[in-house]
């Protein structure tokens, strides 16, 4: 959705219209292979910029509101770092209970308040569809930083960028999604994004944490191969990417059920020995035991590189949305 706000009235020389300018980022469905290639190219430039100079003044004078109703380390701080490294500023609202939210203020009113002060709003919220609601009310661009069990589009962008960086291609890959595929929003977004490419999926989970059936059907409807398995040993020798996720404790009504599945998969050196030497091991983090620390030194363990990529991707997106990329 294009927003009609003051950015639109900026002088042409003052901004670059790149297909992202002034737009919300709510779902990976908004992307295409061309748009992804563009963002990845800019992210690559952002990496060079950070390595060479640390920061730039591209977004000087711009303000980002970082509004988090759920906990976050990587997403909140990488959005903040991205803005600061481009010379912008941040209003961090990561403790909503200290804001007027605790007085009962609604999401629409909170975003309409913040957009009086900021040029772009990053929102994480426990309810599916909350980012869309915020975007419906806000004139300024809204970026979905996770809406409950729905989507986490910027995470999927950095995940895909990492696969590209690690393996040098996005077509013809065998990808296993492992863990909590039911509640894991990063899996939902990444599966949709990978469906733009020639991907073969293996959805590896305990029975009660299977990927929602409409998502499996969606991948198959695009002509892609998708199988559901419970034992990671059935696929480990064959796959190019293993994307491991945490069991999402906060989404369970019955903690006994959580306890019964939480340690279902543990990636350790013995399992890694069965994988291809070229396989890449990813995790959106935080991990709570699914990947043992002993695996961290394995060159195939990409999760720390993956999280650094998050900052470059978010720098690219912010510059694009604010018309400076
Ligand atoms: C993920 C999330 O919040 O969905 N974390 C993140 O943004 N890197 C994954 C998770 O919490 O398990």
Average pLDDT across the chain, whole number: 94
Q: Which of 59-63, 258-262, 271-275 has the lowest mean pLDDT?
A: 258-262
Contacts of 224 (CB under 8 A, 6+ apart): 195, 198, 199, 200, 201
With the most atoms of ligand 1 within 8 angstroms of its CB, the residue from 146, 148, 157, 313 to mutate is 146
Q: Which of 152, 179, 244 to mutate to test the pocket of ligand 1 (most atoms within 8 A of CB)?
A: 152
> Which has the closest alpha carbon to 115: 162, 64, 161, 191?
64
Going from the Cα of 127 to the center of ligand 1, the distance in angstroms, rounded, reads 15
Kindly tell me if the per-residue pLDDT of 9 is higher than 90.
Answer: no
Mean pLDDT, residues 60-87? 97
- Mutational pocket test of ligand 1: of 75, 247, 250, 287, the residue with most ligand atoms within 8 Å of the beta carbon: 75
Share of the chain above pLDDT 70, in %: 95
C-alpha to C-alpha distance for 17 and 43, rounded to whole angstroms: 17
Ligand 1 atom nearest the C-alpha of 307 is: 8
| Predicted pLDDT at 97 | 76
What's the pLDDT tens digit per position in 138-165?
999 999 999 999 999 999 999 999 999 9
What is the C-alpha to C-alpha distance for residues 202 and 232, in angstroms, rounded to an integer? 9
- pLDDT category at 12 given cuts 50, 70, 90 is very low
pLDDT at position 4 over 70: no
What are the tens digits of pLDDT across the range 188-239? 999 999 999 999 999 999 999 999 999 999 999 999 999 999 999 999 999 9
In the reported structure, the alpha carbon of residue 261 is separated from the centroid of ligand 1 by a whole-number distance in angstroms of 18
Q: What confidence tens digit (pLDDT) does each residue in 23-63 have?
A: 999 999 999 999 999 999 999 999 999 999 999 999 999 99
Q: How confident is the model at residue 95 (pLDDT cuts 50, 70, 90)?
A: confident
CB 301 within 8 A of CB 322: no
């Amino acid at each position: 959705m294009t927003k009609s706000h003051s950015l639109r009235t900026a002088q042409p020389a003052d901004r670059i219209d790149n297909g992202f300018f002034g737009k919300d980022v709510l779902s990976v469905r908004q992307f295409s292979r061309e748009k992804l290639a563009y963002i990845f190219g800019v992210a690559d430039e952002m990496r060079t910029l950070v390595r060479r100079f640390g920061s730039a003044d591209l977004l000087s004078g711009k303000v980002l509101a970082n509004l988090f109703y759920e906990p976050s380390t990587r997403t909140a701080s990488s959005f903040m770092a991205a803005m600061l490294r481009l010379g912008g500023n941040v209003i961090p609202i990561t403790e909503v209970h200290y804001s007027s939210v605790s007085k009962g203020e609604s999401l629409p009113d909170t975003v309409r308040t913040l957009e009086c002060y900021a040029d772009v709003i990053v929102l994480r919220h426990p309810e599916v569809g909350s980012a869309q609601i915020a975007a419906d009310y806000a004139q300024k661009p809204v970026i979905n930083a996770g809406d409950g069990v729905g989507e986490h589009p910027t995470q999927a962008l950095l995940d895909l960028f990492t696969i590209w960086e690690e393996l040098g291609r996005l077509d013809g890959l065998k990808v296993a999604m492992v863990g909590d595929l039911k509640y894991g929003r990063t899996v939902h977004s990444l599966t949709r994004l990978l469906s733009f490419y020639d991907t073969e999926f293996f959805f590896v989970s305990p029975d009660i944490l299977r990927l929602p059936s409409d998502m499996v059907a969606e991948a198959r409807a695009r002509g892609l191969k998708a199988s559901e398995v419970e034992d990671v040993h059935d696929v480990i020798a064959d796959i190019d990417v293993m994307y491991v996720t945490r069991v999402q404790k906060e989404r369970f009504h019955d903690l006994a059920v959580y306890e019964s599945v939480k340690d279902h998969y543990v990636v350790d050196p013995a399992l890694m020995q069965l994988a291809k030497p070229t396989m890449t091991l990813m995790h959106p983090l935080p991990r709570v035991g699914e990947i043992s620390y002993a695996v961290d030194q394995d060159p195939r363990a990409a999760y720390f590189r993956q999280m650094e990529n998050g900052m470059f991707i978010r720098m690219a997106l912010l510059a694009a949305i604010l018309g400076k990329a």
